[in-house]
Structure 1
Amino acid sequence: MKESIYSYDDLLEMLDQLLSEERQFNWDVFYSDRDRGVPFFKNYPDENLAEYVETRKLTTGKVLELGCGPGRNAIYLAGKGFSVDAVDQSEEGLNWGKERALDENVKVNFLKQNIFELDIEEGSYDLVYDSGCFHHIPPHRRMDYIDLVTRALKPGGHFALTCFVVGGKLGGSDISDWEVYRGRSMKGGLGFTFEKLTRIFRDFEVVEIREMNDRSPEEGLFGTSELLAGLFKKAVS
């Protein structure tokens, strides 16, 4: 194996290799047990996403969902008239999503792809949505993540995400970015605060950042105050 660094990509590859935790977790195994009892396995959309749509903070258009898993948010958006490209690396998750979309009689373009290898036409999406992917992105990939979102969005388009709050019961390690590499681990996923999200996505207008609202399955929504929800807008010019 080559261990020389001649380019930025070589540096990223080296840092990826340091974080062995991410390679050990298998999302296909995770999604293969559909009766696991994981709250977000239910086919309900995020409460914040539903609120954005119902209050028309978001209107119909073209959507890119990053890390869609079994497709609950993609399916919700498709049912509301959005055109959705939903990306994930887990074949098990995507197959489950395809079954759900067929049952719901909605069309979602599911893509098995590493998000950093997507071939995206600049300015082609009205919304980029991420429910639970960002907190698994290591710090050295964060700039590429921001570039991906920026490149994908039309001027005036929106970016929305849910992520771990620092010290949350579902996850959200309270460590610095440097500590990720000292310990060679993200400890299951990084936690964020209002201030840190504002700083990371400082090139976007902050529409809102808040705790998710707790919701029960009887409401047909997924929501837990252990996660943060953020909505941002790309500048028009």
Structure 2
Amino acid sequence: MTQSNFQASLSDVDFESVYRGGPLIDGLPEGAPSTPWDIGEPQPVLVAVEAAGQVRGTVLDVGCGLGENALFLAGRGYRVTGVDISPTALEQARQRAADKGVEVDFVVGDATRLAGLDARFDTVIDSALFHCLKPELRNDYLAALHRVCVPGGTVHMFCGTDSGPAGMPVPFPINEEVLRDAFGTGWRIDELRLDRYTAVFGREDFAGLLTSMGAPTTGVDELEVDDAGRLRLPVWKLAATRL
């Protein structure tokens, strides 16, 4: 598998199949994580946002997956709704919520529509969703975000950057210009900078993934890791207020 084929395959991921135990894409080496975004805990970058007092009111987690971010925020006392296209992911998220003793309203839905959720949320979280959307779907998604936010509501978005390491598992890496254009009308960008997003794999696993794609592994040994040895990959961290 070549790197270009890998990126193309990521753009057509069947997330329901993945959450049912299928591979992220065909052709990955045995043992490669199928959900590299699920670290079994909330993303540290989101934890920092909440600790800074930047989450308020009612919260929507779009593309919530297995729900760790939503569960964290619910545990902090917020009223949280989680939306995902995968019923299986939400079944598992509900079980995790029950195990933790927290309440989250998990809803199966299309992120580009967010039907039935208009004007309900003070805070919206997009944790690694935007870079999964095909470019032709972005305008619909942005319109849906605007509809579900109350005036003055805030979107916090973490998305893969095009300046990351070669082979970074992101379907559509995003550059700064795309984000500034996306939030240029109907929003005020309050923050846009590079930050770090924790992945489930470490340097060795990532190097093996790159090798399987025929991509170079140069620089992998220098990639930042956390105390558990998990990669901390570069992402855009955006905060935008709905006008």
TM-score band w.r.t. shorter chain:
0.7 to 0.9
Distance 1:49 1:217 in 2: 15
Distance 2:120 2:166 in 1: 34
Contact 2:10/2:171 (<8 A) preserved: no
Q: CA RMSD in A?
A: 2.9
Distance 1:114 1:124 in 2: 17
Aligned with 2:175 (options 193, 196, 206): 193
Contact 2:114/2:148 (<8 A) preserved: no
Alignment-derived partner of residue 212 in structure 1: 195
Alignment-derived partner of residue 225 in structure 1: 233
Runs of 4+ in 1 over 6 A off after TM superposition: none
SS state of the match for residue 41, structure 1? coil
Distance 1:90 1:208 in 2: 30
Q: What letter matches 1:87 in structure 2?
A: V
SS state of the match for residue 195, structure 1? helix
The 1:136–1:208 alpha-carbon spacing in structure 2 relative to 1, beyond 3 Å, is same
1:1-237 to structure 2, matched below 5 A, reads: 24-33=12-21, 37=33, 38-59=35-56, 61-169=57-165, 189-203=171-185, 204-213=187-196, 224-235=232-243
- Return 5+ residue gaps in structure 2 as ranges: 1-7, 23-30, 199-224
Distance 1:166 1:115 in 2: 23
| 1:48-78 deviations in Å (ceiling 9; x for gaps) | 221121111222x111211111011111111
State the aligned residue count: 199
Contact 1:101/1:107 (<8 A) preserved: yes
Contact 1:31/1:92 (<8 A) preserved: yes
Normalised to the residue count of structure 2, the TM-score between the two structures is 0.71
Give the superposition deviation at 1:33.
3.7
SS state of the match for residue 115, structure 1? coil
SS state of the match for residue 56, structure 1? coil
Give the superposition deviation at 1:225.
3.2
Question: Percent identical across equivalent pairs?
Answer: 26
SS state of the match for residue 155, structure 2? strand
Distance 1:134 1:214 in 2: 14
Give the superposition deviation at 1:136.
1.7
Distance 1:214 1:138 in 2: 21
Give the superposition deviation at 1:160.
1.1
Normalised to the residue count of structure 1, the TM-score between the two structures is 0.73
Distance 1:225 1:25 in 2: 21
SS state of the match for residue 40, structure 1? coil
Contact 1:158/1:234 (<8 A) preserved: yes
Distance 2:9 2:197 in 1: 30
| 1:76-117 deviations in Å (ceiling 9; x for gaps) | 111111111111111221122111111111111111122234
Give the superposition deviation at 1:190.
1.2
Give the superposition deviation at 1:229.
1.6
Give the superposition deviation at 1:24.
4.9
Q: What letter matches 1:46 in structure 2?
A: Q
- Return 5+ residue gaps in structure 1 as ranges: 1-19, 174-187
Q: What letter matches 2:44 in structure 1?
A: E
Contact 1:171/1:190 (<8 A) preserved: no
Contact 1:213/1:225 (<8 A) preserved: yes
